[in-house]
Amino acid sequence: MLDDFGSLVERPDARLRRDSADRWRALVRPADGLGKAAELADWLAAVQGVVPVRPITAPRVVLFAGDHGVAALDVSARKPGTASALARAAIDGTAPVNVVARRLGVPVDVVDMALDCDPADLPDEVTAYRVRRGSGRIDVEDALTREEAEQAFRTGTELADRYADSGTDLVLLGDLSVGGTTTAAVLIAALCGTDASVVTGRGSGIDDLAWMRKCAAIRDALRRARPVLGDQIALLATVGGADFAAMTGFLLQAAVRKLPVVLDGVVSAACALLGQRVAFRAPDWWLAGHATGEPGQAKALDRISLDPLLDQGIRLGGGVGALLALPLIQAAAALSAELPVDEGAEPVDEAVEAVEA
């Protein structure tokens, strides 16, 4: 199943990216005057396959939710098994992501993959894809069985197909988890070959003692991760979780379907890093929404050559940072789509020749 992604994922159209970059010479003076916005428009041209770029009209926030057994080690400021409260707030429209989403007119979807609560406590459409209740404590046991990891991965691919088929033109991908940053750090450290201390961050706002417990948990989980590094599904089963497996499958299938995705925090960065191991072209279809200050996120993004669009000190998670990057992306698309060509400008080909001369 995983081997197919390497051939199925194509690169965005580099020729159209160059055409978009050349086109700015007839739109603005100087041609690089719009900076990052123009670069984003060039990227959008490549992933959309058209110049000028189409406006972003149907973005959607997708949040994969799950509880992680490693949270029992008090590595989070939140109590173990309480990710369902985060999910409930997002469902009820009272989470920070909902406030921003309403302002921008973006729907928010919550997908329960492994919340540690009675499924009857949440709407059926949220729990429809749940693989299990919670996950194993990855420092001493597997997070999932291999069958559960495969099921979660397939769920992610199916959801990516559903969004692509429904006309979604940009996904803002986030997570709702307790213990998720610890799991993400394990995956990033394993895939990058680094020590636990290099990737251990403050997550939900932990103190020094909790940070030391978190670092120890990551170190112990790393010992269990290294023997299965060559098998991505086994890695997700051993030290990942159902939400991580689903998010990885989602990212890869979105790349196959040429559906662009904006990553949120360290969890989506860890899944993106794992996805790159499966299909090295896949990161060309993704953007990093913002820098969280988590060392693991910085390590993962550096490895897949993605630079965060924003650095506003946002550490909240839950899709907020990715969503705040949306206006910049939409502005880039609008500039490409709506700026009139200066009829008095030197033709692009002649301008290029003049520069080369």
Residue-range definition of the domain harbouring residue 11: 5-54+334-356
Same domain assignment for residues 129 and 153: yes
Instruction: Report, as an integer, the average pLDDT of 126-132.
Output: 98
**Residue 67 pairs with which residues in a beta bridge?**
178
Same domain assignment for residues 75 and 46: no
Across the beta sheet with 170-178, the strand order is 108-114, 59-67, 170-178, 261-263, 286-290, 308-310
Same domain assignment for residues 50 and 102: no
pLDDT of residue 355: 37
Amino acid at 67: D
pLDDT of residue 316: 87
pLDDT of residue 356: 43
Please say if the pLDDT value at position 347 is more than 60. no
Domain of 181, CATH number, reads 3.40.50.10210
Same domain assignment for residues 161 and 69: yes
pLDDT of residue 32: 86
336 token code pair: 């490409």
Instruction: Report, as an integer, the average pLDDT of 227-251.
Output: 98
Same domain assignment for residues 37 and 107: no
pLDDT mean across residues, the chain: 94
For 139-152, write each residue's pLDDT tens digit: 999 999 999 999 99
For 149-158, write each residue's pLDDT tens digit: 999 999 999 9
pLDDT of residue 341: 77
Regarding predicted confidence, which is higher, 157 or 355?
157
pLDDT of residue 31: 81
Domain count for the chain? 2
pLDDT of residue 21: 94
DSSP string, 246-300: HHHHHHHHHHHTT--EEE-SHHHHHHHHHHHHH-TTGGGGEEEEE--S-HHHHHH
Same domain assignment for residues 179 and 86: yes
Same domain assignment for residues 286 and 183: yes
Same domain assignment for residues 89 and 46: no
Of residues 142, 84, 77, 78, the one with CA closest to residue 113:
84
Same domain assignment for residues 14 and 91: no
pLDDT of residue 173: 98
For 260-313, write each residue's pLDDT tens digit: 999 999 999 999 999 999 999 999 999 999 999 999 999 999 999 999 999 999
1 band by pLDDT with thresholds 50, 70 and 90 = confident
Domain of 38, CATH number, reads 1.10.1610
Instruction: Report, as an integer, the average pLDDT of 161-174.
Output: 98
Same domain assignment for residues 164 and 294: yes
For 49-101, write each residue's pLDDT tens digit: 999 999 999 999 999 999 999 999 999 999 999 999 999 999 999 999 999 99
3-class DSSP assignment, residue 8: helix
Continuous H helices in the chain: 5-8, 14-23, 35-48, 83-92, 96-104, 124-127, 146-165, 180-192, 196-199, 208-225, 232-239, 242-256, 266-278, 295-303, 320-324, 326-338, 348-356
Taking the CA atoms of residue 326, residue 329, residue 335 and residue 337 in that order, the dihedral angle to the nearest 10 degrees is -100
pTM above 0.75, yes or no: yes
Same domain assignment for residues 82 and 176: yes
Same domain assignment for residues 180 and 310: yes
pLDDT of residue 342: 65
Please say if the pLDDT value at position 345 is more than 70. no
73-87, 233-247, 334-348: range with lowest mean pLDDT: 334-348
Distance CA 124, CA 113 (A): 12
